[in-house]
C-alpha cells in the first residue's frame, strides 16, 4: 500500500485515527496532568499526533523552528503608569533574582539525562530522576555519606562532615598573599588529565573543570552557581547555630551528633525554602486570584494521582509546558554588583564547563543580592515581563547549539520541540477538562472560555509580523487552533487585560500552582509538621532531634530578601568585600 499523504491523514476521522495510532512511549518519573489524555485530546500539529506518527518529526521540527523565529520579534509592551523603569519591558513586580530561584526550583523538581527535544522521543534517557520533590536534593545530593564530595570536613583531624563545601572567590587583580579570599563561590576542582586534553593555561592557572555540586545544572552559569552558594551558606550558618545550642554528647557520640546536626540543619533550611517558595515566589508569579485560592490552608487541588502510581511523578504539562515561562523572564544584561555589568552571553558562559581557566569566579561575579531582590529599599535588576519573547542571549549557539536538520539554535526552539513530543493535552482539551472540574477558573477569562475568540487572537498575533518566521497560512491555522502549551502560557500572560506580562494568566497559574502546592503539601506531610508559622514548624522539626528548640529566635523568614539578610548575619557577610547585601 502506498504511504498515506499528510493531507490524507489530516482528513482521517478521529475514529480511524485512533484505530491506527501506535502505542506511545513513556518516560519514568513523568505523568500527565489530570490523567493521561485520550488520543483525541492530545496536542496535534497539522491534525497529526506526533506520538502516533513519528515519521512526521521533520515536519514538526520545521514548524517549531518557524514559530520560534516568529517569537524573535520583541513584544512591544505598554508603559506602566506611575513606574520609573530603566527599560519599558521590565517587570517591577518580579526582581530578577526570582528568575533564578525559579531555575533552582526547576532543578529541584526535574532531572533528566537528556532533553526530550534532543532525544526526539520519550524513553529511559528522558526519565525524571527526582523522586523527592522540593526537598533540596539538587543541593544536598545523597548527604555526607552518599555524596561526600559535596561536604567539608568539620575540623582538622575530624572525619565528620556536616557543612556544604564552598570555594574561595579569586581577585581579578592580584592582591598579594595577605589577602584572604572569602568563601563565596561553589567549590571547584581540577581533574587529573587522563585523556590528553588539558584546558589549563600553562604556568598561570589550572582549569577548574569540576564544579562540586549535587546537580551539574547548578553551575550552568554564574548566577545559578551564586544562588546555589547562597543556600549552602545558609545551611552552614544553621549548622553553626545548632552546634552552639545542642546538648553535650558522650565521648563516643560525636558521629551520631554530627548526623543529627546535619539532618536538623537540612530540615530547617528546607522549611525556610518552602516558606519562601510558597509565600514569596508563588505570590509574585501566579495570577493573584489563583494564588489566593492555592496558598490557603486547603488548596483546591484537582490533580490527585491515585495511590497505585506509587512514587511521585511530575506532569509533562508542567515540566515541558507551563514552567518554561521562566525563560521569558531572563534579562539581556545584569548589574551583578556595584563593580560590574555583564551581558547575558557572558553570564551564560561563566561556568566550570565553559570557562574553567577563569574559575573560581572573581569579584566581578560575586552577586550583590540587593541587585537581585528588594533589600532595604534597593532598586534591583527587574525581570522581563512574561510573554512570547526570549532575550537574544538564550539563542547563544555555544550553549544551545543546533542538534537537528533545521540547524536552529537556542533554548526557545528546544522548549517548543520538547513540548510537541511529550504527548501532552491540547490547550483546548485541557481548558475543557479544567472547566468541567473548576468552571470558575475558566469562566473568568474570555481567552480561555471563548474558543473562537482565542483562535482569532492567536491568529492575529501569529500573522502580525510576517518578516519573522515566515509562517504559512497553514502554519497559522494549526498554531491558532492547537498551540503548543509553553507558547500559549506565554501568550496568555501577555494578553491579560491590565496585567500584561506582570504575572501568569489563569491557565498557566493553575498548572504551576497545582504542582508546586501539591509538592509542598507532600513534603509537609512527610515532615509531619502541622504548624502554621515558620517558628512553629522549626520548633517541631527541632524536637525530632533535640530536647530543646535549637532554632529559637530565627526570624519569620517569608521572602528571599529576608533569607538573604539572615544568611548575611549567620555568615558574617554584612560588611563583606565585595558586597553581599
The per-residue pLDDT for range 502-558, each reduced to its tens digit, is 999 999 999 999 999 999 988 876 655 666 789 999 999 999 999 999 999 999 999
Range with the poorest average pLDDT among 92-96, 249-253, 467-471, 478-482 = 249-253
CB 41 within 8 A of CB 426: yes
Q: Name the DSSP class of 389.
A: -
The per-residue pLDDT for range 453-468, each reduced to its tens digit, is 999 999 999 999 999 9
Three-state DSSP string of 94-157: EECHHHHHHHHHHHHHCCCCCCHHHHCCCCHHHCCCCCCCCCCHHHHCCHHHHCHHHEEECCCC
Instruction: Name the nearest CA neighbour of 516 among 160, 153, 33.
Output: 33
Range with the poorest average pLDDT among 65-69, 395-399, 562-566 = 395-399
CB 69 within 8 A of CB 468: yes
Range with the poorest average pLDDT among 183-187, 266-270, 297-301, 377-381 = 297-301
CB 411 within 8 A of CB 390: yes
Instruction: Using pLDDT thresholds of 50, 70 and 90, give the confidence band for residue 197.
Output: confident
Torsion of CA 39, 43, 47, 52, to 10 degrees: -50
Q: Is 440 helix (H, G, I), strand (E, B) or coil?
A: helix
pTM score over 0.75: yes
CB 276 within 8 A of CB 563: yes
Q: Is 328 helix (H, G, I), strand (E, B) or coil?
A: helix
Average pLDDT over residues 287-310: 83
Torsion of CA 37, 41, 45, 51, to 10 degrees: 30
Average pLDDT over residues 64-86: 92
Torsion of CA 214, 217, 220, 226, to 10 degrees: -50
Q: Is the pLDDT of residue 167 over 90?
A: yes
Instruction: Using pLDDT thresholds of 50, 70 and 90, give the confidence band for residue 4.
Output: very low
Alpha-carbon distance of 448 to 440, in angstroms, equals: 11
Range with the poorest average pLDDT among 52-56, 121-125, 301-305, 320-324 = 121-125
Task: Please provide residue 524's backbone torsions phi and psi, each rounded to the nearest 5 degrees.
Answer: -65, -40
pLDDT on residue 200? 72
pLDDT on residue 310? 63
Q: Is the pLDDT of residue 156 over 60?
A: yes
Alpha-carbon distance of 44 to 61, in angstroms, equals: 13
pLDDT on residue 20? 34
Average pLDDT over residues 39-62: 93
pLDDT on residue 10? 29
Alpha-carbon distance of 135 to 306, in angstroms, equals: 22
The per-residue pLDDT for range 369-413, each reduced to its tens digit, is 999 999 999 999 999 999 999 999 999 999 999 999 999 999 999
Cβ contacts of 366 within 8 Å, gap of 6 or more: 169, 184, 185, 226, 336, 337, 578, 580
pLDDT on residue 1? 37
The per-residue pLDDT for range 485-500, each reduced to its tens digit, is 999 999 999 999 888 9
Helix 222-245 / helix 97-109 crossing angle, nearest 10 deg: 80
Examine residue 569 and say whether the peptide bond preceding it is cis (omega within 30 degrees of 0).
no
Amino acid at each position: 500500500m502506498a504511504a498515506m499523504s499528510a493531507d490524507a491523514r489530516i482528513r482521517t476521522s478521529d475514529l480511524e485515527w485512533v484505530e491506527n495510532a501506535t502505542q506511545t512511549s513513556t518516560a519514568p518519573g513523568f505523568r500527565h496532568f489530570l490523567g493521561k489524555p485520550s488520543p483525541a485530546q492530545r496536542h496535534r500539529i497539522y491534525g497529526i499526533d506526533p506520538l502516533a506518527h513519528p515519521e512526521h518529526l521533520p515536519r514538526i521540527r520545521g514548524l517549531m523552528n518557524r514559530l520560534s523565529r516568529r517569537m524573535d520579534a520583541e513584544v512591544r509592551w505598554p508603559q506602566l503608569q506611575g513606574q520609573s523603569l530603566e527599560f519599558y519591558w521590565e517587570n517591577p513586580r518580579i526582581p530578577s533574582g526570582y528568575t533564578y530561584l525559579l531555575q533552582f526550583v526547576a532543578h529541584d523538581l526535574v532531572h533528566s539525562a537528556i532533553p526530550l527535544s534532543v532525544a526526539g522521543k520519550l524513553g529511559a534517557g528522558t526519565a525524571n530522576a527526582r523522586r523527592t520533590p522540593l526537598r533540596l536534593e539538587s543541593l544536598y545530593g545523597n548527604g555526607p555519606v552518599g555524596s561526600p564530595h559535596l561536604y567539608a570536613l568539620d575540623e582538622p583531624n575530624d572525619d565528620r562532615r556536616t557543612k556544604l563545601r564552598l570555594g574561595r572567590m579569586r581577585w581579578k587583580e592580584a592582591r598579594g598573599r595577605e589577602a584572604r579570599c572569602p568563601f563565596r563561590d561553589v567549590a571547584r576542582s581540577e581533574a587529573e588529565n587522563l585523556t590528553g586534553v588539558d584546558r589549563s593555561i600553562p604556568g598561570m592557572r589550572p582549569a577548574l573543570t569540576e564544579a562540586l555540586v549535587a546537580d551539574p545544572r547548578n553551575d550552568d552559569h554564574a548566577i545559578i552557581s551564586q544562588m546555589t552558594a547562597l543556600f549552602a551558606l545558609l545551611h552552614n550558618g544553621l549548622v553553626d547555630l545548632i552546634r552552639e545550642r545542642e546538648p553535650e554528647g558522650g565521648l563516643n557520640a560525636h558521629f551520631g551528633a554530627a548526623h543529627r546536626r546535619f539532618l536538623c540543619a537540612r530540615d530547617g533550611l528546607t522549611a525556610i525554602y518552602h516558606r519562601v517558595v510558597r509565600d514569596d515566589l508563588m505570590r509574585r508569579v501566579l495570577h493573584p486570584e489563583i494564588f489566593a485560592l492555592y496558598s490557603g490552608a486547603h488548596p483546591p487541588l484537582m490533580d490527585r494521582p491515585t495511590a497505585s502510581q506509587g512514587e511521585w511523578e511530575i506532569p509533562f504539562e508542567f515540566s515541558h509546558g507551563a514552567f518554561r515561562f521562566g525563560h521569558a523572564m531572563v534579562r539581556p544584561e545584569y548589574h551583578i554588583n556595584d563593580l560590574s555589568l555583564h551581558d547575558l552571553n557572558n553570564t551564560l558562559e561563566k561556568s566550570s564547563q565553559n570557562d574553567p581557566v577563569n574559575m573560581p569566579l572573581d569579584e566581578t561575579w560575586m552577586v550583590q543580592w540587593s541587585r537581585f531582590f528588594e533589600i532595604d529599599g534597593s532598586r534591583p535588576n527587574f525581570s522581563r515581563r512574561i510573554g512570547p519573547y526570549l532575550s537574544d542571549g538564550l539563542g547563544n549557539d555555544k550553549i544551545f547549539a543546533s542538534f537537528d536538520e533545521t540547524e536552529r539554535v537556542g533554548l526557545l526552539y528546544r522548549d517548543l520541540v520538547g513540548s510537541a513530543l511529550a504527548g501532552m493535552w491540547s490547550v483546548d482539551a485541557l481548558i475543557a477538562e479544567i472547566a468541567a472540574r473548576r468552571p470558575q477558573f475558566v469562566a473568568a477569562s474570555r481567552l480561555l472560555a471563548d474558543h473562537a475568540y482565542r483562535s482569532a487572537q492567536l491568529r492575529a498575533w501569529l500573522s502580525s509580523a510576517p518578516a519573522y518566521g515566515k509562517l504559512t497560512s497553514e502554519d497559522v491555522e494549526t498554531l491558532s487552533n492547537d498551540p503548543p502549551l509553553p507558547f500559549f502560557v506565554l501568550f496568555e500572560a501577555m494578553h491579560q487585560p491590565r496585567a500584561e506580562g506582570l504575572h501568569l494568566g489563569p491557565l498557566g497559574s493553575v498548572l504551576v500552582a497545582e504542582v508546586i502546592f501539591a509538592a509542598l503539601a507532600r513534603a509537609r506531610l512527610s515532615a509531619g509538621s502541622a504548624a502554621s508559622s515558620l517558628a512553629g514548624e522549626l520548633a517541631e522539626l527541632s524536637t525530632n532531634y533535640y530536647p530543646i528548640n535549637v532554632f529559637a529566635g530565627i526570624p519569620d523568614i517569608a521572602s528571599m530578601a529576608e533569607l538573604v539578610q539572615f544568611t548575611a548575619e549567620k555568615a558574617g557577610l554584612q560588611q563583606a568585600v565585595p558586597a553581599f547585601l
